[in-house]
Amino acid sequence: MTPEISVVVPVYNERENLEPLVREICAAVAPMGRPWELLLVDDGSTDGSGELADTLAREVPEVRAVHFEENAGQSAAFDAGFRLARGALVVTLDADLQNDPADIPALVAELVATGAGAVVGVRAGRRDTLVRRISSRIGNGVRNALTKDRVSDTGCSLKAYRREALARLKMYRGMHRFLATLIRIEGFEVRERAVNHRERRHGSSKYGIANRAWSGLMDVLAVRWMKARALRYRIRGGGGAGGGDA
C-alpha cells in the first residue's frame, strides 16, 4: 500500500536515540489511520547508527534505511528524504529526541484542514542552554531581517509539508533552515504551530556558533537574492490550444 505520510529523519551519529525515536514515531503516527513510512537517512554516521537503522528497518515494516557514502550534511539528508518519500504529506524532525513525535498528528491535521503548503513548528519552552537560545534568537532575527520574512523559529526541524510544495525546490547546503521561506517564494501558504521541545538525552549537538555564523550569513544572503529575483507573473489569457495560424 502506498504511504500517505512520509516521515523523514536525518541521522548523524545518533545511535543511542534511534530505537526510542522509532518507538515514539510509531506510537504517534500509527493511530492516525493512514498508511505511512519512516525514512531514516544515515548521513555517513561513524557510531553504528547506520547499522542500527538497517536493523530497525528489518524489525519495523514502515522503516526504510537510506545510507550516504559519506557525510554530506543535513540539507542533503532532507533532500534525499524528500526525493525518496512516497507520501503526499511529508513530515520532518531531528533524530536527537528534542522534537516530540507526539506533535506530528496535530501538524498533519492543520496541514490537511487549511490547505497550506507547510505547517512549521515553533519550539515552546525550549530546553537548550542559554547560549544556544540567545544565538538562535539572534540568528533568527538576522534571517528574518535580511529575507524580509516572518518565521518565528527557523531552527525547528519539526515540520509538515505537502509534497507538491517541496517538488520545485532546489536544495543547497544550509537551505534546510530556509524551507519555510523557500516554500513561500513558490507561492504556498506557510502556517506556524507551537510544538513541544525536550532536553537532549544522549549524544551532543552537531551545531554551534562557530560553525554556523559565516556560512549562515552566506546562506541568508543567497535566499535574499532568490526572493528578490523570483519570477512573478499571471497569464491573463491566450493560453488555450489552437490560437494561431498554421
* pLDDT score of 148: 65
Hey, is 197 helix, strand or coil?
strand
* pLDDT score of 127: 60
HEC readout, 49-118: HHHHHHHHHHHCCCEEEEECCCCCCHHHHHHHHHHHCCCCEEEECCCCCCECHHHHHHHHHHHHHHCCCE
* pLDDT score of 97: 96
Domain 5-127+153-203 has what CATH class? alpha beta
* pLDDT score of 51: 98
* pLDDT score of 141: 64
Whole-model pTM? 0.82
* pLDDT score of 243: 47
Q: Which amino acid is at 53?
A: A
In this structure, what DSSP letter does residue 167 have? H
Tens-digit pLDDT string for the chain (246 aa): 899 999 999 999 999 999 999 999 999 999 999 999 999 999 999 999 999 999 999 999 999 999 999 999 999 999 999 999 999 999 999 999 999 999 999 999 999 999 999 999 998 876 655 556 555 665 666 666 666 667 778 889 999 999 999 998 988 888 888 899 999 989 999 999 999 999 877 765 655 555 556 677 778 877 777 778 777 777 787 666 554 444
* pLDDT score of 245: 46
Q: Which helix or strand (DSSP H or E) is residue 149 part of?
A: none
* pLDDT score of 139: 65
User: How is the chain split into domains, by residue range?
Assistant: 5-127+153-203
First to last CA, the chain: 48
